[in-house]
Amino acid sequence: MHEPGEVKIPIGPQHPALKEPESFLINLHGEKITAVSVRLGYNHRGIEKACEERTYVQDLYLVERICGICSHSHSTCFVQAVEEIAGIEVPARAKYIRTLIAELERIHSHLLWLGVAGHEIGFDTLLMYTWRDREVVMDLLATLTGNRVNYGINTLGGVRRDINSEQKEEVLKAMGILEERTKYYIELAQGETTVVKRLAGVGILSYEDAQRLGTVGPTARASGIERDTRKDDPYAAYAELDFKVITSSHCDVYGRTIVRLGELMESYSMVRQIIQKIPDGPISVKSPRKIPAGEAVSRYEAPRGEDFHYVRSNGTEKPDRVKVRAPTLANIQAVSKMLEDRYLADMPIVVAAIDPCFSCTDRLIAIRDTERKRKNTVPWETVRLKGIEWYKMQGIDFTSLNKKLTKIF
Amino acid sequence: MAKALFHILIFPGLFFLFIFGFIAEYVDRKLYARFQNRVGPPWFQPVADFIKLMSKEEIIPEEADTTVFKLMPIFALSACATAILYIPILGERSIFSFNGDVIVVLYLLTIPTLTYFLGGWYSRSVFSMIGAVRGLTQLFAYEVPLFLCILASALLADTWSLSEMVTFYNHHLGYWFCNILGFAVALISLLGKLEKVPFDIPEAETEIVAGSFTEYGGRLLALIRMAFNIEMVVGASLLAAVFLPFGLNLHPAAIFLLYLIQVFLIIAAISFLRSLFARLRLDQMINLCWKYFAPLAFLQVLINLVLKGMLPR
């Protein structure tokens, strides 16, 4: 305790409000928040480095696992960058299938978010209802791709699975059910007094602040910024689809809810258009194992906002550098702004309202020496050696295996 | 002596309350689950939870005040269990009845909240402390409407004894209708007392983990959960006795059955209400209680004062 009446409370790294480890240290005066300090870096997995050790096709499966929810977003974003370097022209049908999965993913992500938001404001009934309805789209994804979460549908030069007319019927049927349910949720979000009371006026982020802090996705759109990669820089089949960019001028958590619910309705109409317009033809073209030297940037509108991949190749079958900027990294800065002068009770919903995905965001670990107040950066080789030593201590030794492998190659 | 012991330990004392508490918890959880389109727990789940918690290690934080930390759950449990002795559940008379017992019951039902505050405060964890302070703040908001509603009912009956209130309303069956506003307000206030949605602010999981009970575990947590169950049963019994006094001239077995039905109806209403709302913020909850529920409770008092002069006795 510092000043009288001021309490420091740690939300995280482990806390029921957070689904992933992240630290929010909150200074509290009574019920009011006076200061927030956010600390990232509890969930660093070294995926970018690991990508450099694998071939492009292996990387596809690795980047798909950056995020458990927007898995298709990352894999599409990556594959688009690689295809651009290699100069591969993806068939139209493949582009439509990619878009279809992307929109279905948005539907399942937004429904999941609605449930989580309900839970954060203590409305568990909403959580149970939305997650039940989310099963419809999850089952649909399973029938279309074979998996509920990591679809593995992308490949270099197209997609791996085609859809048939039976599946098209199923998709249309599911859209009907979901549209009905979403209308009910829109009514609920606008009509249920306790929900409106907990959401309206909470976590305000003005248009200027949203611009200045570089927010993306529904967070930006709820502050009135018309920013949507699908419209601004169309990829896949989005240029041929008719859809609106949903914005709101509420600038608060309520606005973010309305934007996401509106996007759900847009997604249903987009899926219907895709089913109607999908052209015949091959679903993939052959791609070379070795990608020519070059670099490319790819942008993609993930459910949480703009996803950004940078790939640099050196003419081998492994990338030279892969850089991922997940949407949460762009939005996390806005959280401290949103929490200014708010109550502790608003903290979970404000954090949840950017739909955070912390493990996707974490790019490095900074080791802090709290006694000497100094940051420490450890070079890659040291980390590697430490890793080998740690495994030796656990009784796992790779040295003999490594020798054998070097003999073979 | 033996009779008093029987009342305290067996019926309607601890043994009965434990069993009833388990059933009430099951009914509440099952209904809540069904309202949320879930399957819900099997019938033995509350008992299984209790046994599991009882068999667990007792962990007390180093900085906590051990005596207070250990005593508070027992205090809460005994206060709730004592209150049932003054509530008429079998017919028109409670086991120990005297003029003024309605106030004793209300105070006994306030004690658990205070013990949760002390237990949380002396846990010396930030989450517990915030939860404890929230609980106490909330107490001042819901307690006034609840007291006023029950006292309004007592005003009309012109007695401070629960048993006599029940007798009065039983002989003037039409009068219960006058208290319907009070019943609604008291039911919602009971949600605050039981720390259930939308008033589960003191133990808001997503904000302060488990509030006052963050540091509790094992046997002590089992006792606290039991205290909540019993508080729910006793609170429902109190509302049933004050606001739903029907058919007390029947056979004792029928009366008991009727009592059970009334209590379960109130518990079902609680489960229904808590599946309907989002959790309010503390300031919103206090606003709601003082701006709407307290005036409504005062209105009930006013209505009863006017009616008292008008209606035949």
Where do the structural domains in chain B lie, given as residue ranges?
13-306
Measured in degrees and rounded to the nearest 5, phi and psi for residue A99 equal -65, -40
Cβ-Cβ pairs closer than 8 A, A with B, add up to 83
Q: Could you give the CA distance from residue B258 to residue B91 in angstroms, rounded to a whole number?
A: 10
User: Which pLDDT band, with edges at 50, 70 and 90, does A99 fall under?
Assistant: very high
Q: Could you give the CA distance from residue A114 to residue A95 in angstroms, rounded to a whole number?
A: 28
Distances (CA, A) of A5 to A30, A36, A97, B281: 7, 16, 57, 20
pLDDT tens track for A235-289: 888 888 888 888 888 888 999 999 999 999 999 999 999 998 888 888 888 888 8
What is chain A's mean pLDDT, rounded?
A: 86
B122-142 mean pLDDT: 87
Q: Could you give the CA distance from residue B78 to residue B75 in angstroms, rounded to a whole number?
A: 5
User: Which pLDDT band, with edges at 50, 70 and 90, does A386 fall under?
Assistant: confident
- Tell me, yes or no, if A135 comes closer than 8 A to chain B by beta carbon: no
Q: Could you give the CA distance from residue A387 to residue A394 in angstroms, rounded to a whole number?
A: 11
With H, G, I as helix, E, B as strand and everything else as coil, classify residue B260.
Answer: helix
Q: Could you give the CA distance from residue A147 to residue B174 in angstroms, rounded to a whole number?
A: 63
- Torsion (CA) B191, B192, B195, B196 in degrees, nearest 10: 40
Say what percent of chain A tops pLDDT 90: 19
Q: Could you give the CA distance from residue A146 to residue A141 in angstroms, rounded to a whole number?
A: 7
Taking each helix axis as running N to C, give the angle between helix B14-35 and helix B252-274, from 0 to 180 degrees, rounded to the nearest 10: 40
What burial class does residue A341 get, using C-beta atoms within 10 Å of its C-beta: 0-12 exposed, 13-18 middle, 19+ buried?
exposed
Pair type for strands A367-369 and A32-39 = unpaired
Q: Could you give the CA distance from residue B206 to residue A17 in angstroms, rounded to a whole number?
A: 4
Q: Which residues of A fall within a CB distance of 8 Å from B278?
A: 118, 121-123, 126, 192, 194-195, 197-198
- What lies within 8 Å, CB to CB, of B23 at 6+ separation is B46
A153-170 mean pLDDT: 88
Q: Which residues of B fall within a CB distance of 8 Å from A13?
A: none
Contact B206 A7 (CB under 8 A): no
Q: What angle do CA B9, B11, B13 make, to 5 degrees?
A: 50
* pLDDT greater at residue B178 or residue A87: A87
Q: Could you give the CA distance from residue A330 to residue A372 in angstroms, rounded to a whole number?
A: 31
**Residues B201/A345, Cβ–Cβ less than 8 Å:** yes
B245-261 mean pLDDT: 76
Q: How many CB atoms lie within 10 A of CB B205?
A: 18
Alpha helices in A213-289 (DSSP H): 217-221, 229-232, 253-277
Alpha-carbon gap: A30 to the closest alpha carbon of chain B (Å): 8
Q: Which residues of A fall within a CB distance of 8 Å from B284?
A: 197
Alpha-carbon gap: B124 to the closest alpha carbon of chain A (Å): 12
Q: Could you give the CA distance from residue A245 to residue A226 in angstroms, rounded to a whole number?
A: 7
Alpha helices in chain B (DSSP H): 2-9, 14-35, 45-54, 66-83, 101-121, 126-157, 162-171, 180-193, 205-208, 218-243, 252-274, 282-288, 294-310
Q: Could you give the CA distance from residue A196 to residue A330 in angstroms, rounded to a whole number?
A: 27
Mutation for A interface: B34, B39, B277, B285, most A CBs within 10 A: B277
pLDDT tens track for B39-55: 989 999 999 999 999 99
User: Which pLDDT band, with edges at 50, 70 and 90, does A110 fall under?
Assistant: very high
Mutation for A interface: B138, B199, B206, most A CBs within 10 A: B206
Q: Could you give the CA distance from residue A307 to residue A297 in angstroms, rounded to a whole number?
A: 11
- B79, B28, B144, B92: which is closest to B259 by C-alpha? B92
Helix (H) or strand (E) holding A127: helix A124-145
Q: Could you give the CA distance from residue B116 to residue B131 in angstroms, rounded to a whole number?
A: 9
Q: Could you give the CA distance from residue A46 to residue A362 in angstroms, rounded to a whole number?
A: 9
Distances (CA, A) of B162 to A192, A304, B48, B104: 38, 58, 36, 10
Q: Could you give the CA distance from residue B220 to residue B224 in angstroms, rounded to a whole number?
A: 6
**Residues A307/A77, Cβ–Cβ less than 8 Å:** yes
- A279, A312, A386: which is closest to A56 by C-alpha? A312
Q: Is the pTM of this model over 0.80?
A: yes
* Domains of chain A with bracketed CATH: 47-330 (1.10.645.10), 378-409 (no CATH)
- Tell me, yes or no, if A388 comes closer than 8 A to chain B by beta carbon: no
Q: Could you give the CA distance from residue B111 to residue B61 in angstroms, rounded to a whole number?
A: 24
pLDDT at A382: 85
Buried-state track A218-236, b at ≥16 Cβ within 10 A, e below 16: bbbbbbbbebbbbeeeebb
Q: Copy the structure tokens of residue A301.
A: 């509108």
What is chain B's mean pLDDT, rounded?
A: 85
Distance between terminal CA atoms of chain B? 38
Q: Which residues of B fall within a CB distance of 8 Å from A121?
A: 278-279
Say what percent of chain B tops pLDDT 70: 97
Q: Copy the structure tokens of residue A242.
A: 């008719």
B120-136 mean pLDDT: 87
| pLDDT surpassing 60 at residue A2 | no
**Residues B279/B206, Cβ–Cβ less than 8 Å:** no
DSSP string, B107-156: HHHHHHHHHHHHHHHTTT-HHHHHHHHHHHHHHHHHHHHHHHHHHHHHHH
A159-180 mean pLDDT: 89
Contact B279 A192 (CB under 8 A): no
Pair type for strands A158-159 and A154-155 = antiparallel
pLDDT at A40: 77
| pLDDT surpassing 80 at residue A364 | no
CB nearest to B277's CB, from A8, A120, A194: A194
Q: Which residues pair with A307 in a beta bridge?
A: A300
A160-185 mean pLDDT: 90
Say what percent of chain A tops pLDDT 70: 96
B231-255 mean pLDDT: 80
- Tell me, yes or no, if B19 comes closer than 8 A to chain A by beta carbon: no
Residue of B nearest to A125 (CA): B36
Taking each helix axis as running N to C, give the angle between helix A71-86 and helix A92-120, from 0 to 180 degrees, rounded to the nearest 10: 150
CB-side neighbour CA atoms (13 Å) of A181: 21
pLDDT at B176: 76
- Torsion (CA) B64, B68, B73, B75 in degrees, nearest 10: -170
| pLDDT surpassing 80 at residue A19 | no
CB nearest to B206's CB, from A7, A132, A348: A348
* pLDDT greater at residue B36 or residue A5: B36
Q: Could you give the CA distance from residue B127 to residue B205 in angstroms, rounded to a whole number?
A: 10
pLDDT tens track for B57-110: 888 888 888 888 888 888 888 888 888 888 887 766 777 778 888 888 888 989
* pLDDT greater at residue B151 or residue B309: B151
pLDDT at A3: 59
- Tell me, yes or no, if B201 comes closer than 8 A to chain A by beta carbon: yes
Q: Could you give the CA distance from residue B40 to residue B50 in angstroms, rounded to a whole number?
A: 17
pLDDT at A1: 41
Contact A16 B205 (CB under 8 A): yes
Q: How many helices and strands (H and E) does chain A possess?
A: 16, 10
pLDDT tens track for B199-216: 888 887 777 888 888 888
